[in-house]
Amino acid sequence: MAPHVKRAFRYRFYPTPEQAAELARTFGCVRKVYNLALAARSEAWTQRRERVGYNATSAMLTAWKRTDELAYLGEVSSVPLQQCLRHLQRAFTNFFAKRARYPRFKSKRNSRAGAEYTASAFRFRDGSLTLAKMSDPLDIVWSRPLPEGAKPSTVTVSRDAAGRWFVSLLCEHPPVDPLPATGTAVGVDMGLDQLLTLSTGEKIANPRHERRDRARLACAQRKLSRKREGSANRMKARFRVARIHARIADRRRDHLHKITTRLVRDNQTIVIEDLAVGNMLKNAGLARAISDAAWREFRDLLDYKAGWYGRRLVVADRWFPSSKLCSACGSVREKMPLCVRTWDCDCGATHDRDVNAAKNLLAAGLAASACGAGVRPQRNTPGGLSAMKQETLRREPQESRSLRGGRSQDPVWAMNAASVRLAKP
């Protein structure tokens, strides 16, 4: 029997005025304790080269509660305050492991707030959840049932910028059963005109959710800019802007979930390209459209769903010339501007740019799959290179080769696709 895994189940709830006030006080205290602990740890290191860990900050919290200035910290549940110190410890651990940047202070102006409760600070019985310092259970909208017999180990309460309240319950859950194996594989080319183009020739339109609400968003932002700083009307206008942003994000996320679920359900192997989205966003002319397409979120959804359901996700190297490579003869064009949507090869084949790229990605992914997981491109140049590969290297600018350490010359690299790596499940 497969071991259980921990999964979070997120629901929306509607607090009473008393519950909202209690949670707001808790969020404020969590932010205050986090900032005080971060300042203490930073000061100890910069001034005395002294490392301060979780145990020391926990002792500091006890001392802070005894002062007149911070006595209000004792009016809320102590569990969220201790949990925020653990979160700070994890942030420093990730920083020293070079997985994240240095922890930052939490801003009061940031509308996103949250608090985490462990099992000692909440009661969950018969589908009702009651938090510490509260007499009544939360009014939760159970949009989907919890697993049978599930008992939450931690509960995280949060409020987004639009003022919506959410509760996330972390439970032990049996692993998802893998889907029946299929023999189908698909290459996926991501774009802006068409959100996705499949190697089968199917094109999935880009809904452009942000563009559809751009006029409403601009109008709300103009009204916000005219409101006096710190006034109640400015607060109302800010919530209107946040609600429009939340509507855009919700529709985009729902659309991506439906697409990724369909791709994972229908295909055993999915091949996508590794896009440097962060670098692309530096293009002022395309940054807004790229952000609206949410390529990074699409890849993240595919990644974990493929791992859940026993599918294989193959990610092609970002330098693989999927658009410039002819899927019929294997020749590579020297240049391919974005304005070129269809092109003719010297072999007589006429290509749709996106469909051709998806076909090349599929061929590259199948070539890597045939070699098994763990295939990595070679960094030296073996003898007996084909004329096509030599021509590709000759035409390629020197600075492009130096950026990625040289083009791979793996003999198994079908159709110039050696720069393919398998994503870890």
So what's the pLDDT on residue 149?
80
Does 389 score more than 70 pLDDT?
A: no
Residue 203 falls within a domain, yes or no?
A: yes
pLDDT tens digits, one per residue of 336-368: 778 888 888 878 788 888 888 898 898 888 887
Q: Which residues pair with 196 in a beta bridge?
A: 190, 204
Choose, from 273, 292, 317, 410, the residue flagged as catalytic: 273
Q: Is the pLDDT of residue 99 over 80?
A: yes
- Which of 125, 149, 173 lies at the terminal end of a domain, its last residue? 173
- The pLDDT tens digits for 300-318 are 999 999 998 999 999 988 8
Whole-angstrom distance, CA of residue 303 vs CA of residue 179: 15
More confident residue, 389 or 183: 183
d(CA 404, CA 420): 13
Residues 225 and 128 in one domain: no
Are 252 and 296 in contact by the 8 Å Cβ rule? The answer is no
13 and 103 both lie in a single domain: yes
Query: Does residue 180 belong to any structural domain of this protein?
Result: no
Best-predicted range by mean pLDDT among 173-182, 208-217, 335-344?
Answer: 208-217
Same-domain pairing of 239 and 321: yes
Residue type, 377: P
Instruction: Yes or no: say if 244 and 214 are a contact pair by the CB < 8 Å rule.
Output: no
| Residue 157: per-residue pLDDT | 96
Predicted confidence (pLDDT) per residue in 54-74, tens digit? 999 999 999 999 999 999 999
Provide the token pair at 381: 């140049």
Does residue 178 belong to any structural domain of this protein?
Answer: no
Q: Is 62 a member of any domain?
A: yes
Q: Which of 116, 189, 303, 317 is catalytic?
A: 189
Which of 120, 140, 173 terminates a domain? The answer is 173
Q: How confident is the model at residue 2 (pLDDT cuts 50, 70, 90)?
A: low
Assess whether 128 and 153 both reside in one domain: yes
**Is the same domain home to 306 and 160?**
no
Which range has the worst mean pLDDT, 1-15, 110-124, 222-236, 252-266? 1-15
Q: Same domain, yes or no, for 165 and 207?
A: no
Which of 22, 292, 317, 354 is labelled catalytic?
Answer: 354
Task: Provide the sign of the torsion angle of the four alpha carbons 404, 408, 413, 415, taken in this order.
Answer: positive
Mean pLDDT, rounded, for 82-106? 95
Same domain membership, residue 328 and residue 201: yes
Domain shared by 282 and 220, yes or no: yes
Same domain, yes or no, for 101 and 195? no
- What is the mean predicted confidence (pLDDT) over 182-210? 91
Mean pLDDT for the chain overall:
84
Mark whether 397 and 270 lie in a shared domain: yes
pLDDT at 327: 82
CA neighbor of 27 nearest in space, from 208, 157, 179: 157
Q: 378 and 254 in one domain?
A: yes
**Residue 111: what pLDDT?**
62
Active-site annotation holds for 273: yes
CA distances from 74 to 14, 61, 327 (A): 26, 10, 68
CB 415, CB 360: distance < 8 Å = yes
Q: Does the residue 179 lie in any domain?
A: no
pLDDT at position 388 over 60: no
Query: Catalytic residue at 75?
Result: no
Report pLDDT for 262: 95
8 A C-beta contact, residue 23 and residue 122: no
The answer to whether residue 323 is domain-embedded is yes
The answer as to whether 234 is a domain residue is yes
Structural domain count, the chain: 2
Active site residue 303: no
Q: Which of 119, 150, 173 is the last residue of a domain?
A: 173
- Residues 45 and 51 sit within 8 Å (Cβ to Cβ): yes
Is the residue at 286 inside a domain? yes
243 and 152 inside one domain: no
Residue range(s) defining the domain that contains residue 302: 185-422
Q: Rounded to an integer, what distance in angstroms lies between the CA atom of residue 331 and that of residue 392? A: 9
> Residues 389-423, buried b or exposed e (16+ Cβ, 10 A)?
beebeeeeeeeeeeeeeebbbbeebbbbbbbbbbb
